[in-house]
Each structure stands twice: as structure tokens, then as C-alpha cells.
Structure 1
Amino acid sequence: MNKNSFKYLYAALLLLLSFLYVPTFGQSVPEGSNFSKTDTATVPEEIEDPENIGINKELNHSTLMPYGNLAEAVKANRRASSQAISLNGLWKFNWVDWPQKRPVNFYKTDYDVSKWKDIKVPSSFQVQGYGTPDYSNFTLIFQSDYPRVMTEPKNKKYTTLHERNPVGSYRRDFIVPTNWNGRRVFITFDGVDAGFFIWVNGKKVGYSVNSRNAAEFDLSKYVHPGKNMLAVEVYRFVSGSYLENQDMFRLSGIFRSVTLWSAPQEHIRDFFIKTDLDSKYKDAELNVSAKVKNYSKVAMPARQVVVTLYDGTVKVQNAAAKAYVPALKPGEEALVKTSIHVSNPQKWTAETPKLYTTVITLNNGNNIVETLSARTGFREIEIKGRLFLVNGVPIKLKGVNRHENWPDDGHAVTEEQMIRDLVLIKQTNSNHVRTSHYSDDPRWYELCDEYGIYLVAEANVECHAQQNQFNEEPTIKAAIVERNIANVENFKNHPSVVIWSLGNENGRGVQTLGQR
């Protein structure tokens, strides 16, 4: 072979290889991606697995907070507890339009995010200038191809052709107080749309879907006293998004509060307060059940749960009771119950929203191990024939549907904005609100207790355009049931909740009807 022949052969081989070249990030460059050769991150399999409804999450429970003392507990202000630290504020933030472009190593402690921009938490990141806010009534804004969320849209006008599945990467540092050493440390995300992974100090903690109910993680083994680093990776679409097709602006990010909080190793993990009026709607039984868990690695001796009812800062006469908690092995949990007879308490209605405070303590002899509390309204809900009764009185429900949305802030609605909604609703002579079509911010239920509103508490389940598609689909059953469990568990102690809704425009199959 002469020199010129070799050149021609070499050129032909290069041309052939150019046709055979496949980018390292996949079989082909997806339409609308504008990938570079460095955009090689893999799409996490969790986000397209409908049976994965969370990794390492704590079990659902009532909205609660340990308090440092009785004075804090009788005020029942979770946000002001000395055992809580708000992580709201400015976080470092990076946004990409495709998961393959995300900074996969951002959670590592040596990854420099100093040049990243700041973002306010809570907020919807589209409202902060990242990506496109989409409104849709009943149609999914990504290509329907259950359970996948990365499929190329058939309609080339879809925003998701170019913004296939935006990812927001959040970073911030936080301080664990030295006096929390030896206690459990939890983190609660009140709302993240739509799914997210969490790392602490470079270690992966877990994963969560269900954007409208609290996601809670036990960080005890990941943190240390002093400075710690938190990383959160938020995906706009996950398989759970098929259940979040509500008619509203579709927005993403950490849009509700994030709270770090501490509890003793022997912790009242959950409690349920239920009032039962007598046949004359005069006297009442205050029934309280509590789940006490031993989070430590050693056995816990027998304890007592003590329940006391307060009217403001004053104990209600003879309104106290105890329950015996057996010795618990490491990781073991016990359910205990007790009740208090209350003579003629003032009754809660939307017109007279009288609230007492139930204080629950875990005691070791004369020593208080833990103190929790909740506002309590004495009311009885009944349906007799065609009548809906509150405390024996027929009530006409005059209501509104309410979305959590504000023109300037998207889905990150503040307490002041919630109160403005409540005042407006009251001014229209309405007494009833449906949390359409998902579980609302926990603060909303507390305000409805206080202002006097009859709530339909709706679960975060709506398929709309896919209505009835999942009636008999086994891979999504657990997700539908879990969202309803979360809704009830979170808000079961609120007197304002008079009706539970299994969801909106979802279907009539075994998934929904089986929960009744």
C-alpha cells in the first residue's frame, strides 16, 4: 500500500467512525436537550418507580413539636419551641433543565457552591426565575407514559420538550446545638414539589415523594454538634406526579417550611386527641392515645404518660389523667390510652371557635422526659338522615375551594396571606373550605381551628386526565393509600376538620374504594 492509499483508507475509517459515534450519555441526543459531552449524569431510577414512595422516611404522624417546658407547651406555638430551629432563609441553588445536566457531586462536603446563586426557602423556583411556570387544568404537562416522566412529548409545543425534568440542587449549612447531644435530631419538610433526595454531611439520608404532606427524616446518626451541611436535590417530575395533576399552576421546589427539631431518645412519636360529647352535648370525654417509642440502643424502663387540659394558662379543674407505659426494648413502641371527663366545656363551632390546650408529658417518676401539646376543640360531628350536625345543631355549609397560590409567591403562601384569605372568606359569610385538591400547609389547619372554619381535608390525589386509568393498577396502589393515610395522620387532631376527602377526580376502583 502506497502512502496516498493509506491516507485515503484512514480518511474513510474516520468518516465511518463519525457515523457510528454515540455520545457517552445515551443512545442519542434527545430532542430539545442541547446536551454537551459532559452532561452524562444518569437519571435516578427512583423517580420513575411508582412503588417507591420514600426511602428512610419516618412514619406519618400528627403535626407535633416537643417543647422545652410547660410555659412553651401551653402556648402551643410549634415554630417558637426551644427544641426547633427553622431552616427557612437563603440557600445556595443551582438549576438545570434536564437531570443529565445536574451537578451530581454537589452533596459532597468538598464541593464548592460559593459561586452558586442564592434562593429563598420556602419558594417556588419558577417564581424565582428558574424554568417555566405552567398552568394546566386537566392535562399532564409532561408526556403521559406511566410510570415514566422522561418520555419525549409527542406535542412539540410542550415546555417539557426543552425542559424535560428540571432539577433544583439546594445547599446550606446549619448548626446543631451542643445541648442536643445525645438526643434525636429530626428534619421535617412541610412541602417539596415533586420528589427529592437528601444528604447530610456528604451521606445520603433518603428520598421522598408526595409533595403536599410532611416528609420527615431522623438525622441523628448523620449529624454532630456544631456546623453541618445539608444538600437537597429536587425533581420537578416523578412517578408520583401522575397523582398530582391538579388544575393549577404547576410549580416546583421547597415551597413550605423546613424545620430541624430535637426529641429525647424516649419520644412520644404520635398522639390522637378525640372529644366525645354526651347525649345532651353538655359534658365531654377527652380521649387521648399516644405512641411512645424507644429510639435508643438500651432498654427503657416503665414510664407514664400524663395528660392535662388547660384553658389558656390555667388548668381545667380535675382535668388530668395518666397512662402506664411498659418497659420498651430498643426500637420498640407502645400505644397507650387514657381519658378525662370534662364538665361542660365551651364548645367549638365555626361561630364560637373556643380552643383549649391539651398538654401531654412523658414522665419518669417526678421527672418530665418530654412535653408536647395541641389545641383542642370540643365538638361532635354527626349525620342524621339528611342533616349535618355540629354539637347536635343542624349546620348549613357555605363554602369555597381554596388553592394555595399567591400571585407574587406561587405556592409558598405565608401565614399573613393565609389570614387574609380567612378574613375574606369570613366576610363573604362562608364557614366552609375545601383544601382543593391536596393537603395544605400545617399552619392553615391551626388557623382554621382558631378562626372557625369547617374544613374538608382533601388528600393529595388527583389524576384528572388519567381519571380511572389507575383503578386496578397494582403498582400505584400503595402510593394512593399512603397519601390518604398521611392526610389523616397529619391532621386528625384539628377540630376544624369535619370531613375527609380521599382525593379529587381520581377514580372509582379498588385503590380508592378500598380505603373507606
Structure 2
Amino acid sequence: MRTLAIQAVGMFLILVASVRAVDEFKVYGDKSGYDEQLLRNYLSLSENRHVLDLAGEWTITYENFQTKISVPSNYDYEGKVVYRRSFVPGPEFENLHFRLVSFGINFAAEIRINGEFVANHNGGYLRREIDLSDGLIKVGETNTIEITVNSAINAHNSIPRRSSLLQPKTYGGIFREIFLLATPKLTIDKWSVRYTISNDLRKCDFTIGLDLRNYDFGYQQKDTSAGASILEKTSEVRYVIEMFNEDDPEPVYTNRYKRYRNVWEIPKIKELNPDGRIVLNRFANLETNFTLEKPIFWNAESPYRYRIVFSLIQADTLVDQTQTYVGLSKVSVQDNVILINSQPLTLRGVEYYEDYPDEGNSLSFAVMESDVLRIKKMGANVVYFKHHPPHPYFLELCNRYGLFILYEAPAFGFTPNVLRDNAYAEELKPYYRTMIENDRLNPCILAWGLGSAHDHNSKDMNAYLNQMSQLIRSLDDRPTFCTSIFGMQDVYLDQVDIINLSLRSNDFLEANIFATKSLSRWPNRAVICTYGVQIFPNNQNGYSDPTSTKFQAKYLIDIYKKLSEWKVAGGIIRSYNDYVTNRTYGF
């Protein structure tokens, strides 16, 4: 009887634990209107490349409980969750090289494919691309991917840290797209584009980097009408770089054909450029430099972009091709003015949180596009994307429609205890590096953010901002910004180019005094103001109720009128959308 009783108690405890796990595990965004075709359109793949989308149903296990979940989606559970799913690559993936691409996993993950360890993924919200060894994925057979996601965060050393009072909820899971990218064995492995605009804006010097890889050591099958043949390892490879205006089939630059010193030397038939040929055994790193005269610039009113196409040709066969869009812009700060392409820019914008009712932070492409178009229609020219890197597609939409982005890393409310031993700053450096290398080519990015609401009187904070500012400037020449809630008390703000002054008081007179005093400390600094009040959306009580919509409207109008009097570089309304918080006041 005692044994039966113990077994019964054990079964009861397991049942209780399972019920508790189910109650704590709430899933968001698993029916968020995911559209695979929109992903494919965004990736703009050539016929030489293929995508195997891993969205859809996965099996997850947590606390000895197993269930099904759709990916992408997210949850408010903190702890380890093991994702598993199977997939079978079709014949179109034969003789291709695979990479695993994820747009966002929160927050740490260990990835295995067919039982073999692939990589660790640390730091939430970042896009990652992982090169897979040949033979790991079996074409035409069942393969299994397993991702152990740890969504636990703390207030000390996780990236991001646990949010404080009234800050947005930090959702866990595989919350953005994840897929396999298959490229030819002889491929353009990586590319880079860097440019320098002259001070008079009359020319732009480009440096294009290409990393070519031969995963098959030079052997490539070629299909012909007479059958299949093998191209020899010593065959020449020709790499072609071409830049086009948006709708013009004729390139504004190409290395495909030989260039001549003057028009009289140009033959009637174009000659192929002999300098674009190499013998590729395993890999090659190449660099091409050219100058574009009278470039067309990107700005919010005219979001113009060039298209750059990279091609790899072997024995007259197009082996691989990829492309990117590049918008040219030059952002600088001169005294208290922000300049875009040497023209003064006054910011009119909104804060934006990646959160949506019943979807959490797994926003569909359709929702993102709808939000961007509405913000643009409001007359805004900038979006302050709060607390972490945006979805790559959100950046693409801002590039396309013309909205600047204030781009912020997950750095909020740092205290001396967090930064005292410098270990956390060292952990953040790779995060900043990956973040900037991923997204620096997006012309919509106006400035890189170093966080907000930090301790206002700390030598450690000053040292941290100095380190991060130097790192950012070594990677990109855009300005840096930081959000201040203490105003003139924040002595560390000398380390950044743009100060974002956050007006927190609901009282207009108090906000005016706070802004005026703070601005007196920075008479020759570029300052923008973020302003707004926290209200209840359905509260129609009138102007005297500080949580009503009418009070909010009057406050926003009053501050907006003050911005020109304060002579600041612009204003940001807090905020475009509502969000769910981890911690509230208790009501």
C-alpha cells in the first residue's frame, strides 16, 4: 500500500508540474499570417540559389512536457525549450552547399542537425548565418534539426538584461524566420560594399569586396544538350560586378568589359575585361575599387537606391549570382544641427516597439508594412526603434518608403554594478559588431544607439560609452546617440554625437523647466526630445484627467509647439504603439 501511495503522489506531482508548465507557457504569434512567398520575395534569390523554409510546425519539449508549436512564434516562458522538426530537401538541392539563417532567436540557443553540434547562438534579436559542413544535410532523405532555446534572462549579465518597471516584455523562442539557404558549391560566399562620399557630394568612391569559395574544389557539373560534362579544376572563373540605376538595364558601372581611356579607343564590339578572371582552387578574397560621378542620394523624401549585382561565371556558364540594394547618404552632426547629405534635418518621429496584440514580437511582413506606411502617412520622417535591432524586413521597408531609423542596441538602465568589472561591456562588443556589420548598408539608419536611462553619475558608465563609441566609429561613420532621463545630470553624454532628452513628466510646466535647464548645458549640441504621457486608451474623461486621450493630445500639441522655441533638432512622440510589460505598477 505504501508503494502504491508513493507512486500516486509521484503521479500527482508530475501532473501538477505539467499543469503549471502549461499555465506558464503562453504562445503568441503562431497564427500571425506568415507568408513564405513574401520571405522569398524579400530574399530576391537568383535561379542558382534555393531556400528551404523551416517555418511551420515544430515539436517542443519543456519541463518534461511536449507539445506542438508554429514557427515563427514567441512565448513568455523563461527557461530551456527544445525545438525539433524534420525536413526532406528535394532534388533541386542536389550538389548545393547549405547555410542555416535565422532572423531572430531569443535569447541563447544550441543548434544540432542530425545529432551533430552546429553552433551556439547567443544574444537575442540578431540575424545569424551559419555555414554548414558538406554532407551534414542529406538530400532526398529525412533530416532532423534540434534547437535548444534558453529564454532565461537576468538583471546583470544577459543580453538583453531583464527589463525594469513598465518596460516592454521580453519574449522568448524562435520568433523570426528561420530557413536553409542553398548556394552552388562554387559560390559568392560573402560580399561587402563600402563607400566614401566626397565633401562636395560630387562623387562617391566604392570599395567592393568579394569572398569566393569553392566547396567542391573546382569541380562543377555542367548540363548540355549532349549530356553532362565536368569542368576542370583549372578552369578560369570570371567575376562580374555591375551597378545599376533603379530601372535602367544599362549599368552605371561594370567590370564585365574592358575600360578605355577615351571614346576613340572603344571598339564596336565590347571586349571582355581580362582583369576579372582568376583560377579558383579553394577560396579567393577580391577587392574592386571604382568611382561614381554625380551620385544620386537617398533621403526620406526621395529614397533612391542603386542595385549591385555580383555574378560568377565559369566557361560561359552563370554559376552563381546575388544582388543587393545600396542607398547613398551622408549623415553628420555640426554643432546643434543634424545634416543629411549636407542639408539640415529636423526629426519628426515616433517610438516603435516590436509588439502586437496576440502576436507578441512575431510580427508578420504585412503588419510591418502596414505600420511603416501609416507612420509615413502621419508625416513622420524617423522611427526610434526601441531597445533592440529591428527585423531585417522592417529596415527594408524603411529603405523603400523613406523613413530614418534611430537604431538601438539592447542596453537599458545600466547601473555601476553592471559595468564595474568591465566584463559585461566586453560581452556587448561582439553584439555591437555583429549588429552593425549586419545592417550598416541600410541607408535608413540615421544613428547608432548606446542605450537609455543609464546611471547618471558613474565613471564606469563614462568608460563604457567611450569604449562603445570608439568601436562603432571603427565600423561605421554614422553618429551615435544615447537617451537621457536625467538631463543635465548625465555627465557621460559628452561621449555621443546626438542627445535624446526623454521628457518623463506629465506636467507641461515641469517638462518645460527640465528641458530648458538641460538644454542650457548643451547650447551647441544636437539634441532631440522624446515626449508623451502614459494613458488608458479608452479614457475619454477630458483634459483634466492625466490618463485620458484628450490630455495626451493637448500635451503632445503643447510640447510640439515648444520644440522650435527650444531650438532642438527634432522630436519623437512616445509612442506609435502600445506594448505589454513584464512589470507594471500593479493595476
The answer (yes or no) to whether the contact 1:304–1:325 under 8 Å persists in 2 is yes
Residue 77, structure 1, aligned to residue 42, structure 2 = yes
Residue type matched to 1:378 in 2?
L
Give the match for residue 443 of structure 1. 393
| 1:425 alignment partner, SS class | helix
Among candidates 137, 155, 161, match of residue 223 of structure 1: 137
Deviation, 1:292, is 3.2
CA distance in 2, matches of 1:119, 1:86: 16
Deviation, 1:380, is 2.4
CA change 1:429–1:233 in 2 (3 A) is: same
Deviation, 1:412, is 0.2
Deviation, 1:223, is 0.7
Deviation, 1:172, is 1.6
CA change 1:339–1:91 in 2 (3 A) is: same
CA change 1:34–1:273 in 2 (3 A) is: same
CA distance in 1, matches of 2:348, 2:277: 44
Residue 462, structure 1, aligned to residue 411, structure 2 = yes
Among candidates 374, 397, 401, match of residue 351 of structure 2: 401
| 1:469 alignment partner, SS class | helix
| 1:351 alignment partner, SS class | coil
Q: Any residues of structure 2 matched to 1:41-60 within 5 Å, and which?
A: none
Structure number with greater CO (CA < 8 Å, separation at least 6) is 1
Residue type matched to 2:249 in 1?
K
Give the match for residue 271 of structure 2. none
Query: Higher mean Cα deviation, 448-457 or 390-399?
Result: 390-399
Residue 361, structure 1, aligned to residue 311, structure 2 = yes
The answer (yes or no) to whether the contact 1:281–1:391 under 8 Å persists in 2 is yes
Q: Any residues of structure 2 matched to 1:146-161 within 5 Å, and which?
A: none
Q: Gaps spanning 5+ residues in structure 2: where?
A: 1-5, 7-13, 22-39, 220-232, 257-274, 455-459, 471-587
The answer (yes or no) to whether the contact 2:214–2:280 under 8 Å persists in 1 is yes
Residue 305, structure 1, aligned to residue 239, structure 2 = yes
Residue type matched to 2:52 in 1?
I
| 1:412 alignment partner, SS class | coil
Deviation, 1:313, is 4.9
Among candidates 434, 440, 443, match of residue 492 of structure 1: 440
| 1:176 alignment partner, SS class | coil
The answer (yes or no) to whether the contact 2:242–2:251 under 8 Å persists in 1 is no
Among candidates 304, 308, 314, match of residue 248 of structure 2: 314
Query: Higher mean Cα deviation, 238-247 or 168-177?
Result: 238-247
Residue type matched to 1:251 in 2?
Y
Deviation, 1:269, is 3.2
Residue type matched to 1:170 in 2?
Y
Number of equivalent positions: 394
Residue 338, structure 1, aligned to residue 289, structure 2 = yes
Q: Any residues of structure 2 matched to 1:171-210 within 5 Å, and which?
A: 171-210=84-123
The answer (yes or no) to whether the contact 1:457–1:487 under 8 Å persists in 2 is no
Give the match for residue 248 of structure 1. 168
CA change 1:510–1:175 in 2 (3 A) is: farther
Residue 258, structure 1, aligned to residue 192, structure 2 = no
CA change 1:181–1:244 in 2 (3 A) is: farther
Q: Any residues of structure 2 matched to 1:365-444 within 5 Å, and which?
A: 366-444=316-394
Deviation string, structure 1 residues 261-319 (Cα, Å, up to 9, x no partner): 11233433332334444444344444422333444567986744322122345334442
| 1:267 alignment partner, SS class | strand
Q: Gaps spanning 5+ residues in structure 1: where?
A: 1-17, 19-31, 40-74, 103-115, 132-164
Residue type matched to 1:291 in 2?
D
Give the match for residue 271 of structure 1. 191
CA distance in 1, matches of 2:317, 2:373: 43
Residue 95, structure 1, aligned to residue 62, structure 2 = yes
Residue type matched to 1:309 in 2?
M
The answer (yes or no) to whether the contact 2:45–2:322 under 8 Å persists in 1 is no
| 2:144 alignment partner, SS class | strand
Percent identity over the alignment is: 20
Query: Higher mean Cα deviation, 422-431 or 363-372?
Result: 363-372
CA change 1:485–1:242 in 2 (3 A) is: closer
Residue type matched to 1:400 in 2?
V
| 2:255 alignment partner, SS class | strand
Deviation, 1:333, is 5.3
CA change 1:90–1:35 in 2 (3 A) is: closer
Deviation, 1:225, is 0.3
Residue type matched to 2:104 in 1?
G
CA change 1:238–1:198 in 2 (3 A) is: farther
The answer (yes or no) to whether the contact 2:72–2:177 under 8 Å persists in 1 is yes
Query: Higher mean Cα deviation, 208-217 or 299-308?
Result: 299-308
CA distance in 2, matches of 1:244, 1:80: 36
Deviation string, structure 1 residues 440-477 (Cα, Å, up to 9, x no partner): 11111111100101112222x3252x533343435434
CA distance in 1, matches of 2:250, 2:406: 30
- Between Structure 1 and Structure 2, the one with more helix by share is 2
CA change 1:333–1:509 in 2 (3 A) is: farther
| 2:443 alignment partner, SS class | coil
| 1:449 alignment partner, SS class | helix
Give the match for residue 513 of structure 1. 466
| 1:241 alignment partner, SS class | coil
Runs of at least 4 residues of structure 1 off by over 6 A? 32-36, 298-302
Deviation string, structure 1 residues 357-402 (Cα, Å, up to 9, x no partner): 1111233464333211111223222333333222221111222221
When normalised by structure 1's length, the TM-score is: 0.67
Deviation string, structure 1 residues 196-219 (Cα, Å, up to 9, x no partner): 122212223222111111133223
Deviation, 1:234, is 1.4
